[in-house]
Amino acid sequence: MKIGINCFPTVGGSGIVATQLAIEMAKKGHDVHLISYDTPFLLRTFRHPNITLELVDILSYPLFKDIGSPYTILAASKLAQIALKTEVELIHIHYAIPVSVSAYLAKEITNIPFSITAHGSDIHTLGVDPAYNPVISHVFNKADGLSTVSNYMKRQIQSKFNYERELEVFYNPIDINKYQKIDSQFCDFRIKFENNFIHVSNFRPVKNAPFIVETFANVIKEYPDTGLIMVGEGPERKKCEDLAYKLGISENVIFQGVRVSIAPIYSCGAALLSASTNESFGLTLAEAMSCETPVIAPNVGGIPEVIDHDINGFIYELGDGDSLSKYMIRLLDDKKLVRKMGGKGREKVISKFEASMIADQYIGWYEKILA
Ligand code: GMT
């Protein structure tokens, strides 16, 4: 199969998912053209002969100073060129805004079919906004296939996008070899504390990361020999750092920035913590579970499809710091429970989210679209 996959190149979930799928398909012998405006994050450290990188040129022009380069048009031209010059049979867009519109245009020009996977903020934050909704609804209805990453997202699309056609759900793919329990002595920085909690995100406001720092501050009043390792970069990272300073816990809160190799960090955690106000799936939760680390996250979006409460982690009501602290303390007090929940988490990832299996689901879907 010859497939074009478009994604954002950044460290965000949709780009990681798209690139992981491209890698899995390439390993299975399919020919993948990976389309973006820069080298996707996972391809910075991995290449495969079956993956061709197709870069969209972002041309600037003085007149566009205030509105930015018209990326939708630039990407549409690139997709049309790929359709005309290569043997790509289908173009698959990860993250609906804006390149699904480019794919719609490329199909008008070349007749190349296209499919879309909606990931998160393209639906629950931007897509529902009337500034985007009419165009995205139209493109969804014109696409040759539409999928998303959880049943929660499926319900959102059906209710808010005037969409009644078939809508597939494919969970996020996890590379279970990359994400497996690794002795924290192989971590590339010294882990200061024996007990640690981990937070991994892009520190956007939706991740609500300061709430984690505040709750952690309460927990370490009783458990001072505990660390909070925060991985990633984004708008609220500094707010978290300032808050840790203000609360007098800077020594215990360790900021790691964006990391390529993260399994040793997940592996040294008593739990991965999330405080997201919305989350369509929660890729980092599944990554941590794959490393046998329990997860504690709020009851929002698709999170209950990932975490089984009291089995591989805990789900608390959004904003309920007392419950979050209670679950953190339970895991600090009971290492056996950490191991038990961690093992159950890995089992769930292997049975529901394993990357090669999820890639097969996408391939089956492509075959259905092209039949
Ligand atoms: O929406 C974001 O904050 C980023 C977004 C992305 O597309 O980069 O992440 C979303 O997609 C991931 C992969 O499908 C999901 O695991 C994340 O839960 C989802 N983020 C949100 O819904 C906030």
Tokens standing for residue 350: 């292997």
Instruction: With a cut of 80, say whether residue 48 has pLDDT above it.
Output: yes
Average of pLDDT values for 230-234? 96
In a domain, 310, yes or no: yes
Q: Do 301 and 206 fall within a single domain? A: yes
In a domain, 365, yes or no: yes
| 334-337, long-range: CB < 8 A, 24+ apart | 337/294
Q: Do 96 and 114 fall within a single domain? A: yes
Q: Please tell me the predicted confidence (pLDDT) of residue 162.
A: 85
Q: Does residue 234 contact residue 258 with C-beta atoms inside 8 Å?
A: no
Q: Is the peptide bond before 98 cis (omega within 30 degrees of 0)?
A: yes
61-70, 184-193, 286-295, 325-334: the lowest-pLDDT one: 184-193
**Predicted confidence band at 188 (pLDDT cuts at 50, 70, 90)?**
confident
Pairwise CA distance, residues 347 & 153, whole Å: 24
Q: Do 188 and 165 fall within a single domain? A: no
Q: Do 322 and 288 fall within a single domain? A: yes
In a domain, 238, yes or no: yes
Q: CA-CA distances (angstroms) from residue 259 to 11, 201, 224, 328?
A: 10, 11, 26, 24
Helix (H) or strand (E) holding 168: strand 168-169
Residue nearest to atom 9 of ligand 1 (CA): 13
Q: Do 140 and 39 fall within a single domain? A: yes
Residue scoring higher pLDDT (112 or 184): 112
CATH code of the domain covering residue 310? 3.40.50.2000
In a domain, 132, yes or no: yes
**Predicted confidence band at 355 (pLDDT cuts at 50, 70, 90)?**
very high
Residue nearest to atom 12 of ligand 1 (CA): 13
Q: Do 302 and 163 fall within a single domain? A: no
Q: Does residue 21 contact residue 358 with C-beta atoms inside 8 Å?
A: yes
In a domain, 179, yes or no: no
Q: Please tell me the predicted confidence (pLDDT) of residue 80.
A: 98
What pTM, to 2 d.p., does this model score? Answer: 0.96
- The minimum-distance atom of ligand 1 relative to the CA of 278 is 23
- Boundaries of domain holding 143: 2-173+354-370
Tokens standing for residue 198: 């981990």
Q: Do 263 and 315 fall within a single domain? A: yes
Pairwise CA distance, residues 326 & 177, whole Å: 32
Q: Do 140 and 191 fall within a single domain? A: no
Using the mean position of ligand 1's atoms as its centre, give its distance from the Cα of residue 357 in Å: 20
- The minimum-distance atom of ligand 1 relative to the CA of 121 is 1
Nearest to 201 by CA among 78, 287, 136, 106: 287
Residue pointed to by tokens 């920035």: 257
Q: Do 194 and 333 fall within a single domain? A: yes
Q: What is the mean pLDDT of the chain?
A: 96
**Predicted confidence band at 11 (pLDDT cuts at 50, 70, 90)?**
confident
Q: Please tell me the predicted confidence (pLDDT) of residue 190.
A: 82
Q: Do 236 and 168 fall within a single domain? A: no
Pairwise CA distance, residues 51 & 19, whole Å: 10
Average of pLDDT values for 125-135? 96
Q: Please tell me the predicted confidence (pLDDT) of residue 309.
A: 98
Q: Which residues line ligand 1 (CB under 6 A)?
A: 12-14, 17, 95, 119-121, 149, 172, 204, 206, 278-283
Q: With pLDDT > 90 as the criterion, what percentage of the chain qualifies?
A: 95
Q: Do 326 and 363 fall within a single domain? A: no
Q: Please tell me the predicted confidence (pLDDT) of residue 184.
A: 80
In the chain, the number of structural domains is 2
Residue nearest to atom 1 of ligand 1 (CA): 121
Using the mean position of ligand 1's atoms as its centre, give its distance from the Cα of residue 271 in Å: 20
Query: Treating both helix axes as pointing N-terminal to C-terminal, what angle do 321-333 and 335-352 enclose, rounded to 10 degrees?
Result: 110
Q: Please tell me the predicted confidence (pLDDT) of residue 361.
A: 98
Average of pLDDT values for 102-109? 98
Q: Do 151 and 8 fall within a single domain? A: yes
In a domain, 178, yes or no: no
